[in-house]
Structure 1
């Protein structure tokens, strides 16, 4: 009665980006087509992994990924308990590029929803994914696996919050309109900042980014004007020289905090020596990130303990699932036995007596089924056959 789950996939650990791109399945066309080809299965497709979970033989899933130009050496195949353990590790964030990242849990949930939408799940897959989602939530609420900033942009936000506590009403200037600036603004928007001022060499790009976040756009010549208005400056522009020097920061009544996450740097280090300016650079933030990553790694054993407990719970459920017909027969037998004893007894009491009689037999049946999970399939439920001979 070995657990018939399987997993076929590839991830950032086994395949480079160009291979992962080929394997990715978009949710509108490729993924529904893959589910139709599989018949039953759940597909988890993200920028860092494409994994197919199913019941039975993994051959169809292998063929599906190989047909997308993936080499066999990029694939991993796991079956039984190992497939289940891998799913739990993924949902808990232990298999992510950044340990403990939160986005993967939503992606696991979405994979299950899409499989349901296309009628591609069944009881074992449903239970596996539901328990994986519950496990992922527990890992984040009961351990520190998701605590602390582990990206430079988020570390910059954490630093700003540490300095100001509340960002509402503040004027934040962002130098640059690239990916890092966008990521920082995404984090910033959730904290109700007062004004957002986007400065970029190309004003059109500054305007496009500012419009997305309800901010104001400026070209690089307006930078001195922006610096006079800002409470916090985050610099992430691609520039061959310093954009902000000591001469650009006149004396001011309140301090100015500057966070330089650009490489090469946007802000002259001498700015940090001004009495009214407080400058933090990429190395400062990376130290925060590294410290938080190390703290997360220290939480891994706690998460692994939760995973092993969840695996035990799933196997117990599966053992019961496998023998449910035998359990029903045991319950019927117990009711018949107690009914023979006293036909005039209250039906409620008869039901209780039958439950007490059947309970240890049902537990024994489940234990036998559970003990056979790692062994060869058993032809029929032996305990029930013995019972029927009595």
Structure 2
């Protein structure tokens, strides 16, 4: 059986192509069934995210790539020639290696990001529920989850900050060891603020307040993370509550001045405040950094943390690839063993059929009154001849034709000329 992966991602296709080829939750089950019914695939898992659409298939035949490409076009109502140049295809070993890289975060837009593993698990579970994942893909995906866990455990692939928002939260965790007792005030409602809110929420922040010029936008961000929204005009009244302040607006002028922060510190009785100004131009007056009990970082301060994080993750990715190479070969060894299992089963079935025939003949001879010792000797003699007939004929032919490789294989298989006792 062949393993085939066909797909595209953020490296090979622009966003407008990726958007047109995604599978939403409402169509994924129908798509899985359509693939198994309308193409030569026996098993299939579809992984569809904002950055990739991939079909992992187990097939018995060949020429499946074209059938999958045409099916993908029909399903989404797109001519295949529009997206075909953006597709990649991997078979067997390369398909396994690709899945291990994807699940470990090595193929992501942000190196080492952890969300993709959950998405891979969800895709596999959907395939299992729909009946499109069988023995081959089941073993491959379970193997993948184990390897991805090992990569996370044995390397630093996900521990170093690689975004400004991640770096800000990492620094906050160094200052406040227990975020569950802290309140974060996030100023702005753009992508960076949303990402910071996500990281804070994942690390158990006690409360989140989102301030924005448009309260509705602040509310859209806050509700995702059990926070609440305020207008920028309310900053002064809520600032004393904040242990962590992250600001990223498009304001041409600072939104937090030294005087406002001084008053907030007095109300806080000088409990320390961690502030991160990600905006360009700055949202927080530089003089705020001169105040006691304020730890103020700018985007330039964090950039060094981000660059160091990228270097650290790159080194970790090299370690991760060593793990992946080992486990790719481990899985392929299991796949190769399936051929041997089938061969052994056939060989045993043939031997057992001959055995049953000989036993039945012996029982008839015993019933006819022949001496038991004569029947046993005849049974052993006939059974030996029948079991050895076909291999003997084939080996004699190999000798005549000079097929030394077959003779060597037989010698290895039957351990002939090794001096070993056949019963040992």
Q: TM-score range by the shorter chain?
A: 0.7 to 0.9
Are 1:34 and 1:64, in contact at CA under 8 Å, matched by a contact in 2?
no
- Residues 213, 52 of structure 1: CA spacing in aligned structure 2 closer, same or farther, 3 A cutoff? closer
Structure number with higher relative contact order (C-alpha < 8 Å, ≥ 6 residues apart): 1
- 1:372 matched residue in structure 2: none
In structure 1, C-alpha distance between the alignment counterparts of 2:155 and 2:348, rounded to whole Å = 41
- 2:399 matched residue in structure 1: none
- 1:268 matched residue in structure 2: 285
- Residues 206, 136 of structure 1: CA spacing in aligned structure 2 closer, same or farther, 3 A cutoff? same
1:161-210 Cα offsets, whole Å, 9 max, x none, are: 11122223333222123333333223323444444333221234434544
- 2:276 matched residue in structure 1: 259
In structure 2, C-alpha distance between the alignment counterparts of 1:75 and 1:24, rounded to whole Å = 14
- Structure 2 length normalisation: TM-score? 0.72
Deviates more, 1:214-223 or 1:159-168: 214-223
- 1:33 matched residue in structure 2: 30
- Aligned residue pairs total 338
1:23 is aligned, of 18, 21, 24, to 21
In structure 2, C-alpha distance between the alignment counterparts of 1:7 and 1:211, rounded to whole Å = 38
- 1:49 matched residue in structure 2: 52
Q: Which structure has the bigger radius of gyration?
A: 2
1:75 is aligned, of 71, 84, 87, to 87
1:159 aligns with 2:171: yes
In structure 2, C-alpha distance between the alignment counterparts of 1:301 and 1:276, rounded to whole Å = 41
- 2:185 matched residue in structure 1: 173
1:7 aligns with 2:5: yes
- Residues 194, 45 of structure 1: CA spacing in aligned structure 2 closer, same or farther, 3 A cutoff? closer
In structure 1, C-alpha distance between the alignment counterparts of 2:312 and 2:273, rounded to whole Å = 31
Higher relative helix content: 2
Calculate the aligned-residue CA RMSD, in Å: 2.7
1:111-161 Cα offsets, whole Å, 9 max, x none, are: 111111111123222222221121111111112222222232222111111
Shift of 1:250: 1.8
1:134 is aligned, of 116, 140, 146, to 146
Shift of 1:329: 5.4
Q: SS in structure 1 opposite 2:67?
A: helix
Q: Which residues of 2 match residues 306-385 of structure 1 at below 5 A? A: 306-328=323-345
Deviates more, 1:96-105 or 1:278-287: 278-287
